[in-house]
Structure 1
Amino acid sequence: MGSSEMKGVKLRAKRASGSSAAERSAYFARREAAKVLRCVLQGDARRRATASIKSLVYSPSVRNKKATFALVCQTLKFLPVLKNVLAATSLLSTKWKKQAELMYITAYDVLFGLKVGMIGSIEKFLISHKTSLQSALSNICANSQAKNVDRLVLDNRPHVVPKPRYVRVNTLKIDIDFARRELERIAIVKEDDIVPDILVLPGRSDLHRHHMVLDGSIFLQGKASTMVAAALNPKPGWKVLDACAAPGNKTAHLAALLKGTGEIIACEINKKRLECLKDTISRSGAHNVKILNRDFLDINARDSPFSQGSCYSFRPFLLWLWNLCRKTRLFAPIVLPRCSYHR
């Protein structure tokens, strides 16, 4: 929604006769939620999420973050049902079709949300058809043999295969066979087909309080995260610069692959994240990691201890990376993983 469009929305809201502060707040929250929902659905359609729901909601442009977040999450939960209800009533084929996301959000509020008086054209349109919406919902429940709406929502949820739980074995402390035998006491354990030092468990395995997690013998680490160090595949004795090291899982993995040899220079500019990095490295038992609380951009690659670097692990997207390499003649192996977005 552009700035001029938003100004128009604000002006119409202010002119709405008899509207309370709660009604105006709900009015804007629905439109902010519709904007977020559109980004989410477009990402799903392209199978490429642009950002997580939280990052979209907590952007500076969203004012009522709590209400917006709740509306998006609840609408997504009821979305298959809402689509069926709107299809049954043919309301989405009207002039509001181009504002489908706002129709979904508002339909959720009309059918399931808080009983707050509504202002706005779409709100008035759907309220005027509330009886037909409720009738369509009842018919869908009856045809689906669902006892209630909650059951209908569960029945319409897409079948999702649970994601497995990935565990990286910290070979600085234990070997993979020992870790596997220990974990097989509580779950079925498989070896990963790509990364040699990670094990795969059922997704619902709760290992957060497991003694091997607490003492750093194993790390609960996503497969994508473990592939960074595996892709670099550092050889014992290498010197590695980890540019944005916190929270330290990849750094600790590098240390394990180096088998305690060489040196890792782990840079972290944020002091709070630095403490997390220190804790991770301490639990891992790695003694070849030098932690620096500084911006790696301030590092002169020609100065000791950076001049003899064997490889470099840069975390964020750095558009000027090629210029950095060209200017400093820093042509060592580099891994540049993209920061992941939670959908």
Structure 2
Amino acid sequence: MRTKSMRKKKKGDDACKENEAKSSKVLKGAERSAYFARREAAKVLKTVLEGDAKRRALASIKTLVYHPSVRNKKATFALICQTLKHLPFINDVLQAAKILNTKWKRQQELIYIIVYDILFGQEVPLVGDAEKYLMRHKEALHLHLKKILLQKNVKTVKELFALHEVPDVSVPRNVRVNTLKLDVDSALVELRKKYSVQKDDLLHDLLILPPGTDLHDHPLVKNGSIFLQGKASSMVAPALSPEPGWEVLDACAAPGNKTVHLAALMKRKGRIIACELKKERIKRLNDTIKLSGATNIQVLNEDFLNINSKDPAYSKVKAILLDPSCSGSGTAASRLDHLLPSKAAGQNVDMERLNKLAAFQRKALQHAFLFPALERVVYSTCSINQIENEDVVKSVLPIAESYGFQLVKPFPGWPCRGLPIFEGSENLVRTDPAKHGEGFFIALFAKKDDVNLSARSNKNDNRTLHSSTRTRNVRRKQPIHTNMFKMWLSGQLCRRHRHMLDNSCCGRN
């Protein structure tokens, strides 16, 4: 049964909503736009702050803002970013002014946004109960802001803001062409009508545009012909390079960009099992798959660790992409994590959390090697931490080798490699957040009898790899002396090709 206080609270909330609804009906033009933009921004900001407080964000700021349900994306994104940048000062002012009662504290995200507009942004139209309430205290808010300026020994808000401002890292905008819907050359023609575009020199389906290019509302993005995906993220699926017709397991699939990239590389042939534990992320995964046009993906709402590798349903899985939960330290800048209160407060690295993540990552990678038909595994993270990357790989190497796997070197011409903490770390791939926009880590394990995998990965056209089984069958049919000559010649060509690639990549990025 509801208590008297609960009924009173509900009555007050209903009255507040009724007043807000009446106010919104009489708004016109710019006033109406500002009114709804603040409330839309407040909903997103609430999700961002709750996720940051729990250290379990549902999604990044950009992902939340550019969700289809958000109507005025640009205005909402700008409003949230500016409010977060100024949030320490907004909180200080509100605490000093002591103007919030219980009613308004329940709507603190909306309060933050309106106070930002009053103190640092645009003039606030006198519409909406929250706006009217805070405008009545406008003088008190400005008075306490002046006191903070004096305490910080600065004269202007600009100088105050500069004390905490994080410099932006300008990196190109990368987009991956979804070859299930559009070929790369057609995408180039369409994008060049408005933008400066060039092809990436490593990934054939990746295009490079100038920093700051906003494509969120572009028709090719909306219809799934291109995906807004960074270069580092776009390297993961080609590192695995599954063949058309294979069965592939994406162990931690949501939001699905790498999953649909696998589908494109496999040309809709074969089967991809997209495994995702969290129900709230399944919808996003399904939306991504639907947008991509992929038809060979089966979504499985299951914990990868609970999948029985001996189950006949998984007896034909030949490749696993394992991109598990991680700290996200390599994509913190692109996700705008530096704007979050936990980062602004300068909190130290949470080693307890990192250790728990690493323990899960090791367990998941060990589990991957148990699948009987497996030929390749890619382990990747968007982290720059050794504990989640090299340390995890080093710890599972003995187990991998006992199942007949070894580390293989994807993208041989790529200059950034693993930290030299064990023999073979030169086979690992790293990307630099400052140079490449994201900090990623990639490790490729392959069955030792897949002898031509490393040589084939020298080719930068992302053509799918020939089957190791087919290669072995061809060798059986050839005379021994012919086979030996071809092996010698292949080795000479591979060494020459590798030398040329290394020289050509010295000045890259």
Bin for the TM-score computed over the shorter chain: 0.5 to 0.7
Most deviating of 310-319 and 251-260: 310-319
Could you tell me which residue of structure 2 aligns to residue 39 of structure 1?
none
The Cα of 1:285 is off from its aligned counterpart by: 1.1
User: Is 1:220 paired with 2:237?
Assistant: no
Could you tell me which residue of structure 2 aligns to residue 320 of structure 1?
363
1:301-320 Cα offsets, whole Å, 9 max, x none, are: 22233111111011215212
- CA 1:187–1:152 in 2, change beyond 3 Å: closer, same or farther? farther
CA distance in 2, matches of 1:135, 1:278: 50
Could you tell me which residue of structure 1 aligns to residue 96 of structure 2?
116
- The SS at the match of 1:259 is coil
Work out whether residues 169 and 175 of structure 1, in 8 Å CA contact, stay in contact via their aligned partners in 2: yes
1:101-154 Cα offsets, whole Å, 9 max, x none, are: xxxx8xx799x8457289xxxxxxxxxxx899669535xxxxxxxxx4427856
- CA 1:324–1:113 in 2, change beyond 3 Å: closer, same or farther? same
Code of the aligned partner of 2:300:
L
Could you tell me which residue of structure 1 aligns to residue 154 of structure 2?
137
The Cα of 1:271 is off from its aligned counterpart by: 2.3
Could you tell me which residue of structure 1 aligns to residue 376 of structure 2?
333
- The SS at the match of 1:305 is helix
CA distance in 2, matches of 1:205, 1:270: 32
- CA 1:117–1:157 in 2, change beyond 3 Å: closer, same or farther? closer
Question: Percent identity among equivalent residues?
Answer: 43
Work out whether residues 324 and 330 of structure 1, in 8 Å CA contact, stay in contact via their aligned partners in 2: no
CA distance in 1, matches of 2:316, 2:185: 36
CA distance in 2, matches of 1:131, 1:318: 45
CA distance in 2, matches of 1:53, 1:59: 10
CA distance in 1, matches of 2:153, 2:210: 40
CA distance in 1, matches of 2:285, 2:297: 11
CA distance in 2, matches of 1:174, 1:252: 14
Could you tell me which residue of structure 2 aligns to residue 177 of structure 1?
185
CA distance in 2, matches of 1:287, 1:246: 17
- State which of 212, 216, 221 in structure 2 corresponds to 1:208: 216
Code of the aligned partner of 1:333:
R
Could you tell me which residue of structure 2 aligns to residue 272 of structure 1?
280
CA distance in 2, matches of 1:293, 1:191: 36
CA distance in 2, matches of 1:132, 1:221: 41
- The SS at the match of 2:96 is coil
CA distance in 1, matches of 2:167, 2:148: 31
- State which of 286, 308, 318 in structure 1 corresponds to 2:316: 308
Code of the aligned partner of 1:172:
L
Written as runs of structure 1 = structure 2, the 5 A alignment for 1:67-216 is 73-74=85-86, 113=93, 116=96, 137-138=154-155, 148-150=156-158, 160-216=168-224
The Cα of 1:186 is off from its aligned counterpart by: 1.7
CA distance in 1, matches of 2:152, 2:377: 61
Q: What is the aligned length? A: 233
Root-mean-square deviation (CA, aligned residues, Å) is 3.9
Structure 1: 4+ residue segments shifted above 3 A: 52-60, 69-75, 112-115, 130-138, 151-161, 325-331, 339-343
Code of the aligned partner of 1:216:
G
1:276-309 Cα offsets, whole Å, 9 max, x none, are: 2112111111111111222222222222331111
- The SS at the match of 1:137 is coil
The TM-score, its normalising length taken from structure 2, stands at 0.40
- CA 1:73–1:325 in 2, change beyond 3 Å: closer, same or farther? same
CA distance in 2, matches of 1:292, 1:131: 53
Structure 1: gaps (5+ residues): 1-51, 61-68, 76-104, 119-129, 139-147
- The SS at the match of 1:301 is coil
- CA 1:132–1:315 in 2, change beyond 3 Å: closer, same or farther? closer
Work out whether residues 315 and 337 of structure 1, in 8 Å CA contact, stay in contact via their aligned partners in 2: yes
CA distance in 2, matches of 1:193, 1:174: 19
Code of the aligned partner of 1:171:
T
- The SS at the match of 1:221 is coil
- CA 1:58–1:306 in 2, change beyond 3 Å: closer, same or farther? same
The TM-score, its normalising length taken from structure 1, stands at 0.57
Could you tell me which residue of structure 2 aligns to residue 145 of structure 1?
none
Could you tell me which residue of structure 1 aligns to residue 393 of structure 2?
none
- CA 1:117–1:151 in 2, change beyond 3 Å: closer, same or farther? closer
Most deviating of 244-253 and 271-280: 271-280
Code of the aligned partner of 1:289:
I
Could you tell me which residue of structure 1 aligns to residue 251 of structure 2?
243
Work out whether residues 276 and 303 of structure 2, in 8 Å CA contact, stay in contact via their aligned partners in 1: yes
Most deviating of 166-175 and 315-324: 315-324
